[in-house]
Structure 1
Amino acid sequence: MSGTQLTLGVRLRDDARWANFHGERNAAAASLIRAACGDPAHPLLVICGDEDTGKSHLLQAACHDYESTGHSAACFSLAELRELGPQALAGIEAMELIALDDVHLVIGVPEWEEALFHLYNRARDLGHQVMITLNDTPAAHGFTLADLRSRFQEGLLVQLGTYRDDDRVVILQARAEQRGLVLSSEVAGFIMRRSSRRLGALLSILDQLDENSLQAQRRLTIPFVKSVMGW
Protein backbone atom coordinates (compact mmCIF):
# COMPACT_ATOMS: atom_id res chain seq x y z
CA MET A 1 0.00 0.00 0.00
CA SER A 2 1.58 3.27 -1.06
CA GLY A 3 2.18 6.33 1.10
CA THR A 4 -0.28 8.22 -1.07
CA GLN A 5 -3.01 5.72 -0.27
CA LEU A 6 -2.19 5.89 3.44
CA THR A 7 -2.79 9.64 3.40
CA LEU A 8 -6.22 9.01 1.89
CA GLY A 9 -7.31 7.12 4.97
CA VAL A 10 -9.42 8.80 7.63
CA ARG A 11 -7.41 9.85 10.68
CA LEU A 12 -8.91 7.73 13.44
CA ARG A 13 -10.44 9.69 16.30
CA ASP A 14 -9.00 8.60 19.61
CA ASP A 15 -12.46 8.64 21.20
CA ALA A 16 -14.06 6.50 18.47
CA ARG A 17 -13.83 3.25 20.41
CA TRP A 18 -16.20 0.55 21.62
CA ALA A 19 -16.15 1.93 25.17
CA ASN A 20 -17.21 5.36 23.93
CA PHE A 21 -20.19 4.15 21.92
CA HIS A 22 -23.10 5.04 24.21
CA GLY A 23 -26.85 4.78 24.00
CA GLU A 24 -28.96 1.68 24.45
CA ARG A 25 -30.67 1.97 21.09
CA ASN A 26 -27.70 0.62 19.11
CA ALA A 27 -25.84 -1.22 21.87
CA ALA A 28 -26.79 -4.66 20.54
CA ALA A 29 -25.71 -3.69 17.02
CA ALA A 30 -22.36 -2.45 18.31
CA SER A 31 -21.85 -5.72 20.19
CA LEU A 32 -22.63 -7.70 17.05
CA ILE A 33 -20.08 -5.73 15.01
CA ARG A 34 -17.44 -6.08 17.73
CA ALA A 35 -17.97 -9.83 17.89
CA ALA A 36 -17.65 -10.11 14.10
CA CYS A 37 -14.39 -8.12 14.03
CA GLY A 38 -11.69 -10.40 12.63
CA ASP A 39 -14.06 -13.36 12.29
CA PRO A 40 -13.27 -15.16 9.01
CA ALA A 41 -16.89 -16.31 8.85
CA HIS A 42 -17.77 -12.66 8.10
CA PRO A 43 -15.56 -11.36 5.28
CA LEU A 44 -18.02 -8.48 4.75
CA LEU A 45 -20.01 -6.43 7.25
CA VAL A 46 -22.64 -4.02 5.97
CA ILE A 47 -23.61 -1.38 8.54
CA CYS A 48 -26.78 0.50 7.59
CA GLY A 49 -28.39 3.53 9.15
CA ASP A 50 -29.25 7.19 8.82
CA GLU A 51 -26.60 9.89 8.96
CA ASP A 52 -26.83 10.34 12.72
CA THR A 53 -26.59 6.77 13.98
CA GLY A 54 -22.88 6.32 14.75
CA LYS A 55 -21.82 4.35 11.66
CA SER A 56 -18.49 6.16 11.31
CA HIS A 57 -17.76 5.71 15.01
CA LEU A 58 -18.27 1.95 14.73
CA LEU A 59 -16.00 1.67 11.68
CA GLN A 60 -13.25 3.53 13.48
CA ALA A 61 -13.73 1.49 16.65
CA ALA A 62 -13.25 -1.66 14.56
CA CYS A 63 -10.03 -0.20 13.11
CA HIS A 64 -8.75 0.59 16.61
CA ASP A 65 -9.65 -2.98 17.62
CA TYR A 66 -7.60 -4.45 14.76
CA GLU A 67 -4.62 -2.20 15.44
CA SER A 68 -4.65 -3.00 19.16
CA THR A 69 -4.02 -6.66 18.31
CA GLY A 70 -1.19 -5.92 15.87
CA HIS A 71 -3.24 -6.13 12.68
CA SER A 72 -3.43 -3.55 9.92
CA ALA A 73 -6.57 -1.50 9.35
CA ALA A 74 -7.55 1.66 7.50
CA CYS A 75 -10.76 3.63 7.22
CA PHE A 76 -11.64 5.49 4.01
CA SER A 77 -14.37 8.05 3.40
CA LEU A 78 -16.09 7.68 0.04
CA ALA A 79 -17.14 11.33 0.35
CA GLU A 80 -13.44 12.15 -0.07
CA LEU A 81 -12.35 9.32 -2.35
CA ARG A 82 -15.06 9.82 -4.98
CA GLU A 83 -13.39 13.06 -6.08
CA LEU A 84 -10.25 11.07 -6.89
CA GLY A 85 -11.95 8.36 -8.92
CA PRO A 86 -12.18 4.59 -8.37
CA GLN A 87 -8.43 4.16 -8.92
CA ALA A 88 -8.09 5.44 -5.33
CA LEU A 89 -9.15 1.94 -4.19
CA ALA A 90 -6.18 0.24 -5.87
CA GLY A 91 -4.05 -1.72 -3.43
CA ILE A 92 -5.98 -1.08 -0.24
CA GLU A 93 -6.92 -4.76 -0.05
CA ALA A 94 -3.48 -5.18 1.54
CA MET A 95 -4.95 -3.93 4.82
CA GLU A 96 -6.37 -6.69 7.02
CA LEU A 97 -9.43 -4.52 7.67
CA ILE A 98 -10.70 -2.22 4.94
CA ALA A 99 -13.36 0.11 6.38
CA LEU A 100 -15.30 2.10 3.76
CA ASP A 101 -17.60 4.84 5.02
CA ASP A 102 -20.62 6.21 3.09
CA VAL A 103 -20.41 3.74 0.21
CA HIS A 104 -23.94 4.74 -0.87
CA LEU A 105 -22.41 7.91 -2.33
CA VAL A 106 -20.97 5.94 -5.26
CA ILE A 107 -23.68 3.33 -5.78
CA GLY A 108 -25.18 3.78 -9.23
CA VAL A 109 -21.85 4.87 -10.72
CA PRO A 110 -20.73 1.92 -12.91
CA GLU A 111 -16.96 2.45 -12.65
CA TRP A 112 -17.14 2.78 -8.88
CA GLU A 113 -19.33 -0.28 -8.49
CA GLU A 114 -16.91 -2.35 -10.58
CA ALA A 115 -13.96 -1.11 -8.53
CA LEU A 116 -15.74 -1.99 -5.27
CA PHE A 117 -16.64 -5.42 -6.60
CA HIS A 118 -13.05 -6.24 -7.50
CA LEU A 119 -11.69 -4.74 -4.27
CA TYR A 120 -13.96 -6.94 -2.19
CA ASN A 121 -13.00 -10.05 -4.19
CA ARG A 122 -9.27 -9.30 -3.78
CA ALA A 123 -9.66 -8.68 -0.04
CA ARG A 124 -11.67 -11.86 0.46
CA ASP A 125 -9.09 -13.91 -1.45
CA LEU A 126 -6.44 -12.60 0.95
CA GLY A 127 -8.57 -13.53 3.96
CA HIS A 128 -9.06 -9.88 4.87
CA GLN A 129 -12.23 -8.27 6.16
CA VAL A 130 -14.24 -5.45 4.61
CA MET A 131 -16.67 -3.26 6.52
CA ILE A 132 -18.87 -0.74 4.73
CA THR A 133 -21.53 1.75 5.78
CA LEU A 134 -24.67 2.57 3.80
CA ASN A 135 -27.56 4.92 4.50
CA ASP A 136 -30.00 2.10 3.75
CA THR A 137 -29.99 -1.64 3.14
CA PRO A 138 -28.44 -2.97 -0.09
CA ALA A 139 -31.89 -4.04 -1.29
CA ALA A 140 -33.05 -0.41 -1.21
CA HIS A 141 -30.27 0.88 -3.46
CA GLY A 142 -30.23 1.10 -7.25
CA PHE A 143 -27.14 -0.84 -8.27
CA THR A 144 -25.97 -0.94 -11.86
CA LEU A 145 -23.84 -4.04 -11.20
CA ALA A 146 -25.94 -6.99 -10.10
CA ASP A 147 -22.86 -8.87 -8.88
CA LEU A 148 -22.02 -6.09 -6.41
CA ARG A 149 -25.58 -6.03 -5.09
CA SER A 150 -25.32 -9.79 -4.60
CA ARG A 151 -22.01 -9.45 -2.72
CA PHE A 152 -23.38 -6.75 -0.43
CA GLN A 153 -26.51 -8.77 0.28
CA GLU A 154 -24.36 -11.75 1.27
CA GLY A 155 -22.57 -9.69 3.94
CA LEU A 156 -23.51 -9.62 7.61
CA LEU A 157 -26.15 -6.87 7.73
CA VAL A 158 -26.27 -4.68 10.84
CA GLN A 159 -29.09 -2.14 10.97
CA LEU A 160 -28.73 0.90 13.24
CA GLY A 161 -31.73 2.76 14.63
CA THR A 162 -32.09 6.53 14.76
CA TYR A 163 -31.37 7.95 18.19
CA ARG A 164 -34.14 9.49 20.25
CA ASP A 165 -33.55 12.67 22.22
CA ASP A 166 -33.08 10.78 25.49
CA ASP A 167 -30.38 8.67 23.80
CA ARG A 168 -28.59 11.85 22.73
CA VAL A 169 -28.70 13.22 26.28
CA VAL A 170 -27.20 9.98 27.64
CA ILE A 171 -24.44 10.05 25.01
CA LEU A 172 -23.68 13.71 25.64
CA GLN A 173 -23.50 13.19 29.40
CA ALA A 174 -21.31 10.10 29.06
CA ARG A 175 -18.86 11.93 26.79
CA ALA A 176 -18.79 14.85 29.22
CA GLU A 177 -18.07 12.51 32.13
CA GLN A 178 -15.15 10.98 30.23
CA ARG A 179 -13.69 14.48 29.96
CA GLY A 180 -14.07 15.05 33.68
CA LEU A 181 -17.06 17.35 33.22
CA VAL A 182 -20.44 17.22 34.90
CA LEU A 183 -23.29 17.88 32.48
CA SER A 184 -26.68 17.95 34.19
CA SER A 185 -29.82 16.87 32.38
CA GLU A 186 -31.05 20.46 32.63
CA VAL A 187 -27.97 21.84 30.84
CA ALA A 188 -27.97 19.01 28.29
CA GLY A 189 -31.62 19.75 27.52
CA PHE A 190 -30.83 23.45 27.11
CA ILE A 191 -28.04 22.66 24.63
CA MET A 192 -30.34 20.42 22.61
CA ARG A 193 -33.07 23.05 22.47
CA ARG A 194 -30.66 25.66 21.15
CA SER A 195 -28.61 23.59 18.70
CA SER A 196 -28.91 20.98 16.00
CA ARG A 197 -29.87 17.60 17.46
CA ARG A 198 -27.29 15.83 15.27
CA LEU A 199 -24.83 13.95 17.46
CA GLY A 200 -21.87 15.32 15.55
CA ALA A 201 -23.04 18.89 16.18
CA LEU A 202 -23.74 18.20 19.86
CA LEU A 203 -20.31 16.64 20.41
CA SER A 204 -18.68 19.57 18.62
CA ILE A 205 -20.39 21.90 21.10
CA LEU A 206 -19.09 19.73 23.93
CA ASP A 207 -15.56 20.17 22.51
CA GLN A 208 -15.96 23.96 22.70
CA LEU A 209 -17.38 23.85 26.20
CA ASP A 210 -14.62 21.53 27.37
CA GLU A 211 -11.90 23.82 26.04
CA ASN A 212 -13.45 26.91 27.58
CA SER A 213 -14.23 25.25 30.90
CA LEU A 214 -10.55 24.39 31.29
CA GLN A 215 -9.60 27.97 30.56
CA ALA A 216 -12.24 29.53 32.78
CA GLN A 217 -12.21 26.83 35.50
CA ARG A 218 -16.00 26.86 35.38
CA ARG A 219 -18.70 24.27 35.66
CA LEU A 220 -21.09 23.60 32.76
CA THR A 221 -23.98 25.81 33.75
CA ILE A 222 -26.61 27.36 31.49
CA PRO A 223 -25.13 30.88 31.86
CA PHE A 224 -21.67 29.52 31.03
CA VAL A 225 -22.99 27.66 27.98
CA LYS A 226 -24.76 30.82 26.84
CA SER A 227 -21.57 32.88 27.13
CA VAL A 228 -19.38 30.35 25.29
CA MET A 229 -21.84 29.66 22.48
CA GLY A 230 -23.13 33.21 22.11
CA TRP A 231 -26.67 32.16 22.84
Structure 2
Amino acid sequence: MKGAQLTLGVRLRDDARFGNYLGDRNGESAARLQALTQDRTLPLIVLCGDSGTGKSHLLQAVCHAGEARGESALCLDMRELLEVGAGVLEGLSATRTLCLDNLEAVFGDPDWEEAVFHLFNRMGDEGHQLVVSLTEPPSAHPPALSDLASRLGHGVILQLALPRDEDRLRILGDRAAERGLELPDDVSRFILRRASRHTGELLSILERLDEGSLREQRRLTIPFVKQTLGWNTAAATGTTDTDST
Protein backbone atom coordinates (compact mmCIF):
# COMPACT_ATOMS: atom_id res chain seq x y z
CA MET A 1 0.00 0.00 0.00
CA LYS A 2 2.84 2.38 0.81
CA GLY A 3 4.09 2.47 -2.78
CA ALA A 4 0.57 3.05 -4.06
CA GLN A 5 0.16 5.88 -1.57
CA LEU A 6 3.31 7.64 -2.62
CA THR A 7 2.18 7.73 -6.24
CA LEU A 8 -0.75 9.86 -5.08
CA GLY A 9 1.51 12.70 -4.03
CA VAL A 10 1.50 15.94 -5.97
CA ARG A 11 4.36 16.15 -8.43
CA LEU A 12 6.40 19.03 -7.07
CA ARG A 13 6.92 21.93 -9.44
CA ASP A 14 10.59 22.78 -9.67
CA ASP A 15 9.80 26.48 -9.38
CA ALA A 16 7.67 26.11 -6.23
CA ARG A 17 10.31 27.12 -3.70
CA PHE A 18 10.62 29.66 -0.92
CA GLY A 19 13.19 31.62 -2.89
CA ASN A 20 10.77 32.53 -5.66
CA TYR A 21 7.57 32.95 -3.68
CA LEU A 22 6.80 36.54 -4.56
CA GLY A 23 4.56 39.21 -3.19
CA ASP A 24 5.38 41.58 -0.35
CA ARG A 25 2.00 41.12 1.31
CA ASN A 26 2.77 37.53 2.31
CA GLY A 27 6.54 37.74 2.65
CA GLU A 28 6.42 37.70 6.44
CA SER A 29 4.12 34.66 6.55
CA ALA A 30 6.28 32.80 4.03
CA ALA A 31 9.43 33.56 6.02
CA ARG A 32 7.78 32.40 9.23
CA LEU A 33 6.60 29.19 7.56
CA GLN A 34 10.13 28.49 6.35
CA ALA A 35 11.54 29.06 9.83
CA LEU A 36 8.89 26.90 11.51
CA THR A 37 9.46 23.98 9.15
CA GLN A 38 13.20 24.17 9.75
CA ASP A 39 12.79 24.41 13.52
CA ARG A 40 10.27 21.54 13.60
CA THR A 41 9.25 22.08 17.24
CA LEU A 42 5.60 22.59 16.23
CA PRO A 43 3.74 19.54 14.87
CA LEU A 44 0.96 21.36 12.99
CA ILE A 45 0.97 24.46 10.79
CA VAL A 46 -2.20 25.72 9.09
CA LEU A 47 -1.98 27.98 6.01
CA CYS A 48 -5.17 29.94 5.34
CA GLY A 49 -6.01 32.01 2.28
CA ASP A 50 -8.19 32.34 -0.80
CA SER A 51 -7.38 30.65 -4.08
CA GLY A 52 -4.54 32.54 -5.71
CA THR A 53 -2.63 33.39 -2.52
CA GLY A 54 0.05 30.79 -3.19
CA LYS A 55 -0.86 28.16 -0.60
CA SER A 56 0.00 25.27 -2.93
CA HIS A 57 3.29 26.95 -3.89
CA LEU A 58 4.28 27.21 -0.23
CA LEU A 59 3.31 23.63 0.60
CA GLN A 60 5.45 22.39 -2.26
CA ALA A 61 8.25 24.70 -1.10
CA VAL A 62 8.07 23.03 2.31
CA CYS A 63 8.49 19.64 0.64
CA HIS A 64 11.39 20.84 -1.51
CA ALA A 65 13.11 22.17 1.61
CA GLY A 66 12.56 18.89 3.44
CA GLU A 67 13.98 16.86 0.58
CA ALA A 68 17.00 19.19 0.45
CA ARG A 69 17.65 18.27 4.09
CA GLY A 70 17.52 14.60 3.16
CA GLU A 71 14.14 14.03 4.79
CA SER A 72 11.05 12.30 3.43
CA ALA A 73 8.41 14.78 2.30
CA LEU A 74 5.05 14.37 0.59
CA CYS A 75 2.36 16.78 -0.60
CA LEU A 76 -1.21 15.58 -1.17
CA ASP A 77 -4.13 17.47 -2.71
CA MET A 78 -7.12 16.28 -0.71
CA ARG A 79 -9.52 17.09 -3.57
CA GLU A 80 -7.85 14.40 -5.64
CA LEU A 81 -8.08 11.77 -2.89
CA LEU A 82 -11.81 11.86 -2.19
CA GLU A 83 -12.60 8.98 -4.54
CA VAL A 84 -9.65 6.93 -3.30
CA GLY A 85 -10.95 6.53 0.24
CA ALA A 86 -9.75 7.61 3.66
CA GLY A 87 -7.67 4.45 4.07
CA VAL A 88 -5.04 6.03 1.83
CA LEU A 89 -3.83 8.03 4.85
CA GLU A 90 -2.74 4.91 6.70
CA GLY A 91 1.02 4.68 7.02
CA LEU A 92 1.67 8.28 6.00
CA SER A 93 2.72 9.25 9.52
CA ALA A 94 6.14 7.78 8.71
CA THR A 95 6.69 10.76 6.40
CA ARG A 96 8.92 13.35 8.08
CA THR A 97 7.09 16.29 6.49
CA LEU A 98 3.54 15.81 5.21
CA CYS A 99 1.55 18.56 3.49
CA LEU A 100 -2.20 18.32 2.92
CA ASP A 101 -3.51 20.88 0.43
CA ASN A 102 -7.20 21.89 0.33
CA LEU A 103 -7.97 20.03 3.53
CA GLU A 104 -11.52 21.41 3.71
CA ALA A 105 -12.39 19.18 0.73
CA VAL A 106 -12.92 16.29 3.18
CA PHE A 107 -14.84 18.28 5.81
CA GLY A 108 -18.30 16.86 6.38
CA ASP A 109 -17.28 13.28 5.59
CA PRO A 110 -17.11 11.36 8.90
CA ASP A 111 -14.69 8.70 7.64
CA TRP A 112 -12.28 11.25 6.23
CA GLU A 113 -12.43 13.55 9.24
CA GLU A 114 -11.71 10.68 11.62
CA ALA A 115 -8.86 9.43 9.42
CA VAL A 116 -7.30 12.91 9.31
CA PHE A 117 -7.64 13.28 13.09
CA HIS A 118 -5.87 9.96 13.71
CA LEU A 119 -3.18 10.92 11.19
CA PHE A 120 -2.60 14.15 13.13
CA ASN A 121 -2.17 12.12 16.33
CA ARG A 122 0.25 9.65 14.77
CA MET A 123 2.33 12.43 13.21
CA GLY A 124 2.60 14.10 16.61
CA ASP A 125 3.54 10.85 18.35
CA GLU A 126 6.36 10.27 15.86
CA GLY A 127 7.65 13.83 16.10
CA HIS A 128 6.88 14.53 12.46
CA GLN A 129 5.42 17.71 11.03
CA LEU A 130 2.13 18.31 9.26
CA VAL A 131 1.37 21.41 7.19
CA VAL A 132 -2.16 21.86 5.86
CA SER A 133 -3.96 24.50 3.80
CA LEU A 134 -7.49 25.84 4.21
CA THR A 135 -9.41 28.57 2.44
CA GLU A 136 -10.71 29.95 5.74
CA PRO A 137 -9.39 29.77 9.32
CA PRO A 138 -10.59 26.67 11.22
CA SER A 139 -12.79 28.82 13.47
CA ALA A 140 -14.68 30.18 10.45
CA HIS A 141 -15.21 26.85 8.68
CA PRO A 142 -14.59 24.01 11.14
CA PRO A 143 -14.92 20.30 10.39
CA ALA A 144 -17.87 18.47 11.94
CA LEU A 145 -15.61 16.33 14.15
CA SER A 146 -15.01 18.46 17.23
CA ASP A 147 -11.71 16.75 18.08
CA LEU A 148 -10.36 17.58 14.62
CA ALA A 149 -11.63 21.16 14.87
CA SER A 150 -9.86 21.52 18.22
CA ARG A 151 -6.63 20.09 16.85
CA LEU A 152 -6.68 22.49 13.89
CA GLY A 153 -7.42 25.42 16.18
CA HIS A 154 -4.33 24.64 18.26
CA GLY A 155 -2.01 24.62 15.26
CA VAL A 156 0.05 27.63 14.21
CA ILE A 157 -2.22 29.54 11.82
CA LEU A 158 -0.63 31.65 9.08
CA GLN A 159 -2.99 33.89 7.09
CA LEU A 160 -2.20 34.72 3.46
CA ALA A 161 -3.63 37.72 1.59
CA LEU A 162 -4.37 38.01 -2.11
CA PRO A 163 -1.49 39.67 -3.99
CA ARG A 164 -1.80 43.26 -5.16
CA ASP A 165 -1.54 44.10 -8.85
CA GLU A 166 2.03 45.27 -8.27
CA ASP A 167 2.84 41.83 -6.87
CA ARG A 168 1.20 40.13 -9.85
CA LEU A 169 3.23 42.24 -12.28
CA ARG A 170 6.40 41.34 -10.43
CA ILE A 171 5.49 37.66 -10.45
CA LEU A 172 4.86 37.75 -14.20
CA GLY A 173 8.10 39.59 -14.86
CA ASP A 174 10.25 37.31 -12.72
CA ARG A 175 8.71 34.13 -14.07
CA ALA A 176 9.19 35.40 -17.63
CA ALA A 177 12.84 36.14 -16.87
CA GLU A 178 13.29 32.62 -15.50
CA ARG A 179 12.05 31.32 -18.85
CA GLY A 180 14.38 33.61 -20.77
CA LEU A 181 11.46 35.72 -22.01
CA GLU A 182 11.47 39.47 -22.36
CA LEU A 183 8.11 40.67 -21.08
CA PRO A 184 7.74 44.42 -21.67
CA ASP A 185 5.91 46.36 -19.00
CA ASP A 186 3.10 47.41 -21.37
CA VAL A 187 2.50 43.78 -22.31
CA SER A 188 2.38 42.55 -18.71
CA ARG A 189 -0.05 45.33 -17.78
CA PHE A 190 -2.20 44.46 -20.80
CA ILE A 191 -2.32 40.82 -19.69
CA LEU A 192 -3.29 41.86 -16.18
CA ARG A 193 -6.15 44.04 -17.49
CA ARG A 194 -7.54 41.26 -19.67
CA ALA A 195 -6.91 38.09 -17.68
CA SER A 196 -8.09 36.69 -14.39
CA ARG A 197 -6.22 38.04 -11.36
CA HIS A 198 -5.64 34.47 -10.18
CA THR A 199 -1.89 33.89 -9.95
CA GLY A 200 -2.09 30.31 -11.21
CA GLU A 201 -4.04 31.36 -14.29
CA LEU A 202 -1.59 34.18 -15.00
CA LEU A 203 1.29 31.72 -14.90
CA SER A 204 -0.61 29.35 -17.21
CA ILE A 205 -1.02 32.23 -19.66
CA LEU A 206 2.71 32.92 -19.46
CA GLU A 207 3.42 29.27 -20.24
CA ARG A 208 1.18 29.44 -23.33
CA LEU A 209 2.92 32.61 -24.47
CA ASP A 210 6.32 31.02 -23.93
CA GLU A 211 5.35 28.02 -26.06
CA GLY A 212 3.87 30.25 -28.77
CA SER A 213 6.87 32.57 -28.81
CA LEU A 214 9.25 29.64 -29.16
CA ARG A 215 7.15 27.99 -31.85
CA GLU A 216 6.71 31.13 -33.95
CA GLN A 217 10.01 32.79 -33.02
CA ARG A 218 8.26 36.01 -32.08
CA ARG A 219 8.73 38.53 -29.30
CA LEU A 220 6.02 39.14 -26.72
CA THR A 221 4.00 42.08 -27.99
CA ILE A 222 0.39 43.05 -27.43
CA PRO A 223 -0.69 41.91 -30.94
CA PHE A 224 1.07 38.57 -30.40
CA VAL A 225 -0.59 38.12 -27.00
CA LYS A 226 -4.01 38.88 -28.53
CA GLN A 227 -3.42 36.37 -31.31
CA THR A 228 -2.09 33.60 -29.08
CA LEU A 229 -4.77 33.94 -26.41
CA GLY A 230 -7.68 34.68 -28.73
CA TRP A 231 -8.13 38.19 -27.41
CA ASN A 232 -8.49 39.76 -30.85
CA THR A 233 -12.11 40.76 -30.29
CA ALA A 234 -13.51 42.90 -27.53
CA ALA A 235 -16.54 40.60 -27.42
CA ALA A 236 -14.34 37.80 -26.13
CA THR A 237 -13.75 39.68 -22.89
CA GLY A 238 -16.70 42.04 -22.76
CA THR A 239 -14.36 45.04 -22.68
CA THR A 240 -13.65 47.90 -25.02
CA ASP A 241 -10.55 47.15 -27.07
CA THR A 242 -8.34 50.19 -26.68
CA ASP A 243 -5.07 48.25 -26.77
CA SER A 244 -4.49 48.03 -30.50
CA THR A 245 -0.77 48.68 -30.31
TM-score, structure 2 as length reference? 0.91
What is residue 234 of structure 2 aligned with on the other side? none
What is residue 57 of structure 2 aligned with on the other side? 57
Residues 35-114 of structure 1: pairs in structure 2 closer than 5 A: 35-114=35-114
What is residue 120 of structure 1 aligned with on the other side? 120
User: 1:126-173 CA deviation, whole Å, 9 max, x = no partner?
Assistant: 111000000010111132211111111111110000122222111111
Task: Report the residue type matching 1:185 in the other structure.
Answer: D
What is residue 154 of structure 2 aligned with on the other side? 154
Larger radius of gyration: 2
Secondary structure (helix, strand or coil) at the match of 1:175 reads: helix
Aligned length: 231
Report the Cα distance in structure 2 between the residues aligned to 1:178 and 1:154, rounded to whole angstroms: 39
What is residue 226 of structure 2 aligned with on the other side? 226
Task: Report the residue type matching 2:164 in the other structure.
Answer: R
Query: Does the CA contact (< 8 Å) of 1:52 and 1:198 recur in 2?
Result: yes
Residue 9 of structure 1 deviates from its aligned partner by 0.5
User: 1:148-202 CA deviation, whole Å, 9 max, x = no partner?
Assistant: 1111111111000012222211111111111121212211111122222211111
Structure 2 stretches lacking a partner, 5+ long: 232-245
Secondary structure (helix, strand or coil) at the match of 2:189 reads: helix
Query: Does the CA contact (< 8 Å) of 1:107 and 1:141 recur in 2?
Result: no
Secondary structure (helix, strand or coil) at the match of 1:105 reads: helix
Structure 1 stretches lacking a partner, 5+ long: none
Residue 216 of structure 1 deviates from its aligned partner by 2.8
Which moves more between the two structures, 44-53 or 220-229? 220-229
Report the Cα distance in structure 2 between the residues aligned to 1:175 and 1:220, rounded to whole angstroms: 14
User: 1:60-99 CA deviation, whole Å, 9 max, x = no partner?
Assistant: 0000000011000000000001121211111111110110
> RMSD value over aligned CA atoms?
1.2
Report the Cα distance in structure 2 between the residues aligned to 1:168 and 1:149, rounded to whole angstroms: 34
Query: Does the CA contact (< 8 Å) of 2:104 and 2:143 recur in 1?
Result: no
Report the Cα distance in structure 1 between the residues aligned to 2:97 and 2:32, rounded to whole angstroms: 17
What is the percentage of aligned positions where both structures have the same residue? 53
Secondary structure (helix, strand or coil) at the match of 2:123 reads: helix
What is residue 144 of structure 1 aligned with on the other side? 144
What is residue 203 of structure 2 aligned with on the other side? 203
What is residue 2 of structure 2 aligned with on the other side? 2
Secondary structure (helix, strand or coil) at the match of 1:12 reads: coil
Report the Cα distance in structure 1 between the residues aligned to 2:120 and 2:157, rounded to whole angstroms: 16
Secondary structure (helix, strand or coil) at the match of 1:76 reads: strand
Report the Cα distance in structure 1 between the residues aligned to 2:146 and 2:219, rounded to whole angstroms: 56
Report the Cα distance in structure 2 between the residues aligned to 1:229 and 1:151, rounded to whole angstroms: 45
Query: CA 1:33–1:83 in structure 2 vs 1: closer, same or farther (change >3 Å)?
Result: same
What is residue 19 of structure 2 aligned with on the other side? 19
Report the Cα distance in structure 2 between the residues aligned to 1:186 and 1:88, rounded to whole angstroms: 48
Residues 174-213 of structure 1: pairs in structure 2 closer than 5 A: 174-213=174-213
